[in-house]
């Protein structure tokens, strides 16, 4: 393969050790960048803040290089530019580099593209009620809820902190507001005062009404389906749990032994 083909392969590959390591590094950098954003909302020594700013800048440069490499490797450039993850990358990189606002934490949505790695964290043999496929689904549902709350918290903090520091002094205050708003509890003890903050609040409420019950309901349905399984060991792949009336393993198709 050419260099471009190799780079493109390893960006998408999770089967080989090299591809898995590259994807895990990207995951770790996204997590580190988000952690730096949270830490910087607190009162920390100026020397530590400078080190965190430098680290975050280096991470953003790595993300920019990754974006350029992906663009170079893409066979259909326009399709790549219009893809959801490419747009997220641009929104995370450009505002930070030109000094407008730091919304690099929205790259947390990039985790959706690497949730495939969940199945490798379990090893080749699954010895629990959760199959590899189920684990990816559970992780996707839980992460959807987490990512939405996280990004809304970051946005409301960025908007309200400069004008309303008393109520939005740290990221935790923003998380508290996002959770009580999206769950439509609305205690009213923390309220936005800017027009942008109120608009975000409306979007949070709509998101909470439309999306969160759907995601939580889907999670509950899958958990109930898992509870109804019985322990039947597959003699081929060692999958431990199957539906009560299953005659063949859903993972490898091997006929199951009668209990």
DSSP result, 72-134:
HH-SSHHHHHHSHHHHHHHHHHHHHHTTS---GGGGGGGGGGGGGGHHHHT-SS--SS--HHH
Per the CB < 8 A criterion, the answer to whether 106 and 147 are in contact is: no
| Structure confidence by residue, pLDDT tens digits, 158-192 | 889 889 999 999 999 999 999 999 888 878 888 99
Average pLDDT, the chain: 78
The terminus-to-terminus CA distance of the chain in angstroms comes to 51
In what helix (H) or strand (E) does residue 241 lie, and over which residues does it extend? strand 241-242
Q: CB burial class (10 A; 0-12, 13-18, 19+) of residue 206?
A: exposed
Average pLDDT estimate for 187-206: 90
Phi and psi at residue 241, to the nearest 5°: -125, 135
pLDDT tens per residue across span 87-138:
777 777 776 666 556 666 666 665 555 555 554 444 443 444 555 556 666 7
Residue pLDDT, tens place only, 227-249 = 666 667 787 777 766 676 677 88
């Amino acid at each position: 393969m050419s260099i471009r083909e190799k780079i493109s392969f390893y960006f998408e590959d999770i089967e080989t050790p090299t591809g898995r390591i590259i994807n895990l590094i990207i995951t770790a950098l996204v997590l580190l960048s988000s952690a730096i954003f949270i830490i910087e909302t607190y009162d920390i020594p100026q020397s530590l803040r400078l080190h965190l700013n430098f680290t975050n800048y280096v991470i953003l440069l790595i993300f920019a290089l990754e974006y350029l490499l992906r663009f170079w490797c893409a066979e259909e450039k326009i399709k790549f530019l219009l893809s959801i993850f490419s747009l997220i990358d641009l929104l995370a990189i450009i505002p930070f580099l030109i000094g407008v606002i730091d919304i690099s934490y929205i790259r947390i949505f990039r985790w959706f593209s690497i949730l495939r790695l969940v199945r490798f964290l379990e090893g080749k043999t699954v010895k629990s009620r959760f199959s590899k496929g189920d684990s990816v689904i559970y992780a996707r549902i839980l992460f959807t809820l987490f990512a939405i709350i996280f990004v809304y918290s970051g946005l409301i903090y960025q908007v309200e902190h400069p004008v309303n520091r008393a109520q939005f002094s740290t990221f935790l205050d923003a998380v508290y507001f996002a959770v009580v708003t999206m769950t439509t509890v609305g205690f009213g003890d923390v309220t936005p005062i800017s027009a942008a903050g109120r608009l975000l609040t409306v979007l949070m409420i709509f998101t909470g009404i439309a999306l969160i019950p759907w995601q939580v309901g889907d999670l509950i349905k899958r958990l109930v389906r898992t509870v109804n399984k019985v322990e039947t060991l597959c003699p081929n792949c060692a999958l431990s749990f199957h539906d009560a009336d299953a005659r063949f393993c859903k993972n490898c198709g091997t006929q199951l032994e009668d209990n």
